[in-house]
Structure formats: structure tokens, C-alpha cells
Amino acid sequence: MMEEKSERRLGKMILNLTEEQRDSVKITFNSNRFVVNIGKKDPILREYYSMDNMMKEFDENGIEKAEFDDKANFMYEQGDEFRKDHDKTLH
């Protein structure tokens, strides 16, 4: 089993992704979070309870495109509504 290589720098999560991994990103939505598989062979699994955190980490790691399933796409398009509903469940 391959270890996930990552490091934290000033609040950033740097995943040290290969080009193949950055080019193969699949996103699903499971109950209250985005589930992301990065890479085809031995994918890295990441979970995000916040769309903002997901997009921030994508930006930090050079992920420019991703494939969304229907539910993940719907929740992504909800944008602010998802954030408001999610914030209520955290308090």
C-alpha cells in the first residue's frame, strides 16, 4: 500500500501530486461531504465537509479540473446554499 505523501506548510496541505494524479480527479457526494479520488492507480482519497476547503486545496495542489458525479455536481452548483445548510449542522 502506497503512503500518501503530503506536508503542511503555513496552513496549506501540499499533496505532492504527480501530473497523472492531477489529471484524474473524481468527485462524489456522500450524505454531507465531497469524496474525492485523486489518481487512477492507488488513488488518494480525500474528504471535504466544505466546498471552500476543497477548492482551496485544489488550488494549492494545481488541480484544475475534476469529474463530478451527478449528485456532487448538483451540490457544487448549490454553492452558497450548501454552505449555509452545512454551517447549521456544525453548530
pLDDT of residue 9: 52
- Residue type, position 23, single letter: D
87 or 15, greater pLDDT: 15
Contact 34, 54 (CB under 8 A): yes
pLDDT of residue 14: 85
17 CB-near residues (< 8 Å, 6+ apart):
38, 39, 44, 61, 62, 63
User: Model-level pTM?
Assistant: 0.74
Question: 6-55: per-residue pLDDT in tens?
Answer: 555 556 778 889 999 999 999 999 989 999 999 998 899 999 998 899 99
Question: 55-80: per-residue pLDDT in tens?
Answer: 999 999 999 999 999 999 998 888 75
pLDDT of residue 60: 92
Distance CA 41, CA 44 (A): 9
